[in-house]
Amino acid sequence: MPACFWWTRWAERGAADVGQGMPGSRFDYSPGQWATLRRLLDEALALGAQEQQAWLASLDDAARELKPTLARLLAAASRPGIAALDTLPKVETDQFAAAPGRSAEELPAHGRSLGPYRLLRELGQGGMATVWLAERTDMLQARQVALKLPHGAWRMAGLAERMAREREILAGLEHPHIARLYDAGVSAEGQPYLALEWVDGVPIDRFVREGGLSVAACLALMLQVCEAVAYAHAHLVVHRDLKPGNILVTAAGQVRLLDFGIAKLLVNEAGGALQATQEGARALTPDYAAPEQLLGRPVGTAADVYALGVVLFELLTGQRPHHLALGSGQNLADALAQRAPVRASDVVVDPQRRRALRGDLDTILAKAMKPLPAERYATVQALSDDLQRHLQHQPVLARPDRLGYRLRRFARRNRLAVGAGGLAAAAIVLGAGLALWQAREAGLQRDAALLAQRQAEQQTALARRAEQAAEAQADMVGFVLADLSNDRSQADMRQQMERAVVSVRAQYRDNSFLRARLLMDIAERLRWFSDFEKANQLFAEAEPLLRAHGDAAPLARLLCIRARDVAFDGRFERAASLISEAAAELSRMPGDTARAQSACLIEEAAVARLRGDLRRAVAATEQARLLEEQTGLAESEDHAETLQSLARAYHQSGRYREAADTARAGMALRSRLGRDHTPGMMNAQAQLATSLREGGRPLDALQLHEALAAGSAGREIAVGPRRYQHAAALVSAGRLAQAAPLLVQLLADARLRNDRTEVRAITILQIQLMLDSGATVEAQAKLQEAEQLYAALLAGKRYAARLLLFARAQVGLAAGDLPGAEAALRDARELIQATAQPDDPSWRVAHRLQARLYLLRGEAQPALDSAEAALRLSRQQAVNPQASLCIAEDLLLRAQVHRLRGDQPQAQADARLAAQHARDAAGAEHPVTRQAQALAV
Amino acid sequence: MPNDPEVAAAPGAAVDARFEATYHQLKRLAHARLRDGGRDVLLDTTGLVHETYLKLGQQAALQFPDNAHFLSYAGRVMRSVIVDLVRQRRSERHGGDLRRVTMTGEVMERLGLPGSEDHILGVHEALQDMAKLDERMARVVELRYFAGLSDLEIARALGITDRTVRRDWAHARLFLVDALG
């Protein structure tokens, strides 16, 4: 058990420190002796004192060696010290009491000594500490210092150790704009102290305000600040508590930064949050603290960048960009959610100042204060450089704030369905240590939660405003989650989700309405990571709550998702009824249901697809797309997902051109939304590549795959299926030598993962490759493997089994086993007939194979009919009807048939056209190109 | 609190949730541990519990199936907290860091009786030795002496009968008094 282990280590830590006068151990018994002692004690303690003596005397030989010990032990019962064991003795102290309030005796007083310092006068009091002007008395020259004395709970043991550690680093910061830390220690009375360089200056905001400084002057000061912070960062020290109060300016106009890293010294990670629960204590000034800091996440130099942004904003506009009003009893998550980004130029009144701020400075500030650390300036130096550029009238490097733009756009949409959940979800995903930052006042006020409920019931102006803020935040959530999934592994994300679930259950224990919505939110995201089991658990948990509250939109979504899941199991009736139920829920709901409806249409399409009804799948998805475009939902990531679904639906129907176009539209949309390196984008690109390949453009597909591979190097994002598509593109493009080893590797990986679908697909592709290379014997062997893999699907007459039958037929044709090929082909046609629709792309394959069969049999007319049937389909399905490998293949086939018929001119014409197609779509080296060229002469 | 496997999966939240639930319990315990009588105490009860929480919060890999386990662990932590504090005071008094100034008479007067500190450390170290021979007995003592749980509470925390607790305690006190000299 981990806990046990930890404790033991802990206990060992102090083992070396044995004080004077401590007795030696009396526990040096062997296990055998110990057991015996205990048994004997049992006996003895059952007797009275007198009887014990007799008993002792009568101990037999075996126990005799223990007799003195026993005597001693029994005697111990009457020693005075025995009572002392009943409870901890008291230990006196004068200043160790960690009382929340401060009594008079505890405060240091003028003239008192503290360590080597003599206190002169009190300079000020903060939430954490009192600062005194003090003099160092043990040096030749008395030096004046600012002595910072943490009070309250900070005056506890353990601080000395921390201080010593950090002292080295902080004392080493020597910079003209940084106030030195001279010393840190703990006095004999247990009072920790920090001795800082005494700076005679005023806080920078006061300096700017009272001096009426111009923009340029403010920036010049800021550059000094940046210099100092950058220096510290170079020494691996993060300030963590930058604010005007810590940035002093001397009369000479020189900046001095205080308290570098002090916040870290004094704040134990867990203690920081805990501190806030005590009266009068505030570990951080929330207005300047970066979101990740407030939520207890790891803090890096980006947090300082953020704070600098806030400070600069304040200097330039006279106001803070946002106020975090925690005092009213909101919890942190809600408070953070109320902060919307503000443009500096928007808040100033003076037109001259506004002109000066608009544009570059707005952009610089926005970039410094991005909620996500990764989106800010990477270094303070970068911020400083941009400020310099602005001062020198050069273009700055920061780009305009698209997030602000996007948020305003999104505020127009009605996201009632996810709105309330988005509020807290953002905070949950950003940080794990939430729920501890509660207001000082006792009792939780649930304003935000009640508001969310009210907005479901009635549309008041207040509710609408909160709703808009929630909408904006909800979109931020989506971005945040998608962003996180870029830089983290899927395992990290899943863990993050787990923590989110726990937090939701704890924090919204008493609010089932919000809890249900949040759990829905998380569950839907879990599906992105294919964690269906966990997602279903959450759905099951949320459903009764949603029903109880009559929360129609998320309930409808839940039902639709469930519909898809049961459809996956083949229970189409059940799926259909779930969808109707969902539709009924939606119709009952007042207000705008577009998003929920669209989501349900997507699920309906998925069900249809599983049923094999591709037409319905396409139709439903097209409906969803249209609905979204008409209701203004089109500039969103959800719409990009809809486009993705549509592209997939087209693709499965063999409408490759439309599939490619739709995939491109999705990619363009994502790019506009700034979602360029997300898994969603990669999926869209992969879909495009696949459609290009199937639609007869293997070279284009290959190019795209290569770009994708380069782009996602080093990232762990669902790579498997994409690599398979890449391999398929290689095979299509005739790059057999390249494809072969890749397939071997993919097969091994897929087997390792026990991904049977992928193993099957790879095996089929390998057969294709072998046939294309003319390795018929190997292909036959592979086919045997495939037979095993597909046995169950074949027996179940599943659509997927057609691939096996095609492979059988192809191998048969190559090996000269025409009856075998014929049988396989017949079975394949039967299967497709039963499970697919007339325009299913598989028909083309069937026709081609049929044509080849007839060709080998020498039956010209049937061969021609089949070849033409295939050609018709490949023309229909081609992405580029002027240049398609599929058309080339079918033309080549027809050419061969014409040659069989003895119609040489027609054969050559077809072959020439085939060569043209093939050259453009697949390159001059492609086997089809060469074969066609050979036939053309 | 019901047995919640999800809680175990998210360690930070586990500690937080348990802590909230048992905060008052722990406070009561801590208060009971430190005799009152008009003089200052080493830590007031709030401080003790919070310091406990701070240290607990650092254990990332904790999993608590229920309150009993938590209390048992909290007892262990309280022990370390108290021992750390006592040690620190002693090392200060014995002049650990030269930089620290010598005590003024005033301060000296108000320091605690050395005996108490010795006693606490003595028990602590005796328990370390005891644990090598009889882990359970050491745990019983720890929960009783440092955490101040009743026999019944100890029994629940350790998953044993209260009869066993009483027996262990009856033996332990003898061994301890003997060991402390």
* Complete DSSP assignment for B22-35: HHHHHHHHHHHHB-
Q: Which of chain A's residues have a Cβ under 8 Å away from the Cβ of B68?
A: none
CB nearest A22 (choices: B62, B84, B122): B122
> What letter would DSSP give residue A88?
B
* A92 with B46: Cβ contact below 8 A: no
Mean pLDDT of A742-748: 90
The reported pLDDT for the residue numbered A568 is 74
Q: B52 to chain A nearest CA, in Å? A: 11
Q: How far apart are CA A875 and CA A657, in angstroms?
A: 11
Highest mean pLDDT among A19-23, A174-178, A473-477, A517-521: A174-178
Whether residue A38 lies within 8 A of chain B, CB to CB, comes out as yes
* A3 with B62: Cβ contact below 8 A: yes
Cβ neighbours of residue A622 under 8 Å, at least 6 residues apart? A646
CB nearest B181 (choices: A23, A94, A96): A23
Q: B133 to chain A nearest CA, in Å? A: 6
Q: Which amino acid is at A116?
A: P
Q: Which of chain A's residues have a Cβ under 8 Å away from the Cβ of B84?
A: 14, 157-158
pTM for this entry:
0.44
Q: Which residue has the higher pLDDT, A732 or B51?
A: A732
* A76 with B58: Cβ contact below 8 A: no
Q: Which residue has the higher pLDDT, A594 or A272?
A: A594
Q: Which residue has the higher pLDDT, A123 or A219?
A: A219
Q: How far apart are CA A218 and CA A224, in angstroms?
A: 10
Q: A31 to chain B nearest CA, in Å? A: 6
Q: Are A798 and A807 in contact (CB under 8 A)?
A: no
Q: Which residue has the higher pLDDT, A407 or B91?
A: B91
Q: How far apart are CA A418 and CA A416, in angstroms?
A: 6
Q: Are A74 and A52 in contact (CB under 8 A)?
A: yes
Q: For the range B108-113, what are the long-range contacts, defined as Cβ-Cβ under 8 Å and sequence gap of 24 or more?
A: B110/A92, B110/A93, B110/A94, B111/A92, B111/A93, B112/A90, B112/A91, B112/A92, B112/A93, B112/B42, B113/A91, B113/A92
Q: In this prediction, what percent of chain B has a pLDDT beyond 70?
A: 42
Q: How many CB atoms lie within 10 A of CB A280?
A: 12
Q: For the range A661-664, what are the long-range contacts, defined as Cβ-Cβ under 8 Å and sequence gap of 24 or more?
A: A663/A687, A663/A688, A663/A691, A664/A688
- How many CB pairs (< 8 A) connect A and B? 241
Whether residue A17 lies within 8 A of chain B, CB to CB, comes out as yes
Q: pLDDT band at B175, cuts 50/70/90?
A: very high
Residue A227: pLDDT over 50: yes
Mean pLDDT of A793-798: 83
User: For residue A27, how far is the Cα from the chain centroid?
Assistant: 54
Question: What residue of A is the nearest CA neighbor of B11?
Answer: A499
Mean pLDDT of A442-463: 41
The region of weakest confidence among A330-334, A634-638, A887-891 is: A330-334
* A96 with B40: Cβ contact below 8 A: yes
Predicted confidence (pLDDT) per residue in B115-127, tens digit: 667 788 888 889 9
Whether residue A4 lies within 8 A of chain B, CB to CB, comes out as no
Residue A20: pLDDT over 50: no
With the C-alpha atoms ordered A227, A229, A232, A234, is the resulting torsion angle positive or negative? negative
Mean pLDDT of A648-657: 90
The dihedral region occupied by A161, where left means phi > 0, alpha psi between -120 and 50, and beta the remainder, is alpha
User: For residue B13, how far is the Cα from the chain centroid?
Assistant: 23
> What letter would DSSP give residue A414?
-
Token pair of A567, please? Answer: 């459809």
- Paired sense of beta strands A129-136 and A255-257, if any: unpaired
Q: Which of residues 160-189 of A touch B (CB under 8 A)?
A: 160, 183, 185-189
Q: Inter-axis angle of helices A31-45 and A67-76, to 10 degrees?
A: 50
What interface predicted TM-score (ipTM) does this complex get?
0.72
Q: How far apart are CA A480 and CA A430, in angstroms?
A: 8
* A82 with B47: Cβ contact below 8 A: no
Q: Which of chain A's residues have a Cβ under 8 Å away from the Cβ of B115?
A: 89
Q: Which of B44, B125, B166 should be substituted to probe chain A, the one whose Cβ sees the most A Cβ atoms within 10 Å?
A: B125
Whether residue A462 lies within 8 A of chain B, CB to CB, comes out as no
To the query of whether residue A241 is one of the catalytic residues in this protein, the response is yes
* A98 with B34: Cβ contact below 8 A: no
Q: Which residue has the higher pLDDT, A539 or B9?
A: A539
Which of helix, strand or coil describes residue B178? Answer: helix
Question: Among the options A17, A28, A61, A241, which is catalytic?
Answer: A241
CB nearest A82 (choices: B59, B92, B173): B173
Q: How far apart are CA A373 and CA A627, in angstroms?
A: 36
Q: Are B71 and B149 in contact (CB under 8 A)?
A: yes
Residue A43: pLDDT over 70: yes
Q: How far apart are CA A473 and CA A466, in angstroms?
A: 10
Which of helix, strand or coil describes residue A113? Answer: strand
Q: Which of chain B's residues have a Cβ under 8 Å away from the Cβ of A99?
A: 44, 46-47
Q: How far apart are CA A897 and CA A789, in angstroms?
A: 35
The dihedral region occupied by A112, where left means phi > 0, alpha psi between -120 and 50, and beta the remainder, is beta
Q: Which of A79, A105, A502, A510 should be substituted to probe chain B, the one whose Cβ sees the most B Cβ atoms within 10 Å?
A: A502
Residue B69: pLDDT over 80: no
B146 exposure class (CB count in 10 Å sphere: 0-12, 13-18, 19+): buried
Cα angle A40, A41, A42; round to 5:
90
Q: Are B179 and A27 in contact (CB under 8 A)?
A: yes
Which of helix, strand or coil describes residue A676? Answer: coil
Q: Which of chain B's residues have a Cβ under 8 Å away from the Cβ of A19?
A: 90, 118, 121
The reported pLDDT for the residue numbered A320 is 83
Q: Which residue has the higher pLDDT, A533 or A453?
A: A533
Which of helix, strand or coil describes residue A148? Answer: strand
CB nearest B111 (choices: A11, A90, A92): A92
Residue B103: pLDDT over 50: no
Phi first, then psi: give them for residue A876, nearest 5 degrees.
Answer: -65, -40
Whether residue A139 lies within 8 A of chain B, CB to CB, comes out as no
Q: How far apart are CA B18 and CA A188, in angstroms?
A: 36
Residue located via tokens 């026993």? A70
* B97 with A185: Cβ contact below 8 A: yes
Q: Which of chain A's residues have a Cβ under 8 Å away from the Cβ of B130?
A: 27
* B40 with A499: Cβ contact below 8 A: no
The reported pLDDT for the residue numbered A190 is 61
Predicted confidence (pLDDT) per residue in A343-360, tens digit: 888 888 888 888 888 888
* A91 with B174: Cβ contact below 8 A: no
Average pLDDT, chain A: 75
Mean pLDDT of A282-290: 61
Q: pLDDT band at A339, cuts 50/70/90?
A: low
Highest mean pLDDT among A367-376, A439-448, A725-734, B56-65: A725-734
Edge-first strand order for the sheet with A192-197 is A113-114, A117-125, A129-136, A143-150, A192-197, A181-186
Question: What residue of A is the nearest CA neighbor of B42?
Answer: A91
The string of DSSP letters for B81-114 reads HHHHHHHHHHHHHTT--TTSPPPPHHHHHTSPPH
Q: Which of chain B's residues have a Cβ under 8 Å away from the Cβ of A171?
A: none
Q: Which run of H or E residues covers position A192?
A: strand A192-197
Closest alpha carbon to A448 in A481, A473, A430, A411: A473
Whether residue A115 lies within 8 A of chain B, CB to CB, comes out as yes
Residue A98: pLDDT over 90: no
Question: What residue of B is the nearest CA neighbor of A40?
Answer: B171
* B83 with A2: Cβ contact below 8 A: no
Residue located via tokens 């176009």? A661
* A188 with B88: Cβ contact below 8 A: no
Q: pLDDT band at A493, cuts 50/70/90?
A: low
Q: Which of chain A's residues have a Cβ under 8 Å away from the Cβ of B129?
A: 25-28
Q: How far apart are CA A550 and CA A545, in angstroms?
A: 8
* B101 with A188: Cβ contact below 8 A: yes
Mean pLDDT of A791-820: 90
Q: How far apart are CA A277 and CA B30, in angstroms?
A: 19
Q: For the range A747-754, what are the long-range contacts, defined as Cβ-Cβ under 8 Å and sequence gap of 24 or more?
A: A749/A720, A750/A720, A753/A720
Q: Which of chain B's residues have a Cβ under 8 Å away from the Cβ of A188?
A: 92-93, 100-103, 107
Q: Which of chain B's residues have a Cβ under 8 Å away from the Cβ of A25?
A: 125-126, 129, 179
Closest alpha carbon to A879 in A723, A727, A689: A689
Q: B152 to chain A nearest CA, in Å? A: 15
Cβ neighbours of residue A807 under 8 Å, at least 6 residues apart? A764, A767, A768, A783, A786
The reported pLDDT for the residue numbered A359 is 81
Q: Are A500 and A522 in contact (CB under 8 A)?
A: yes
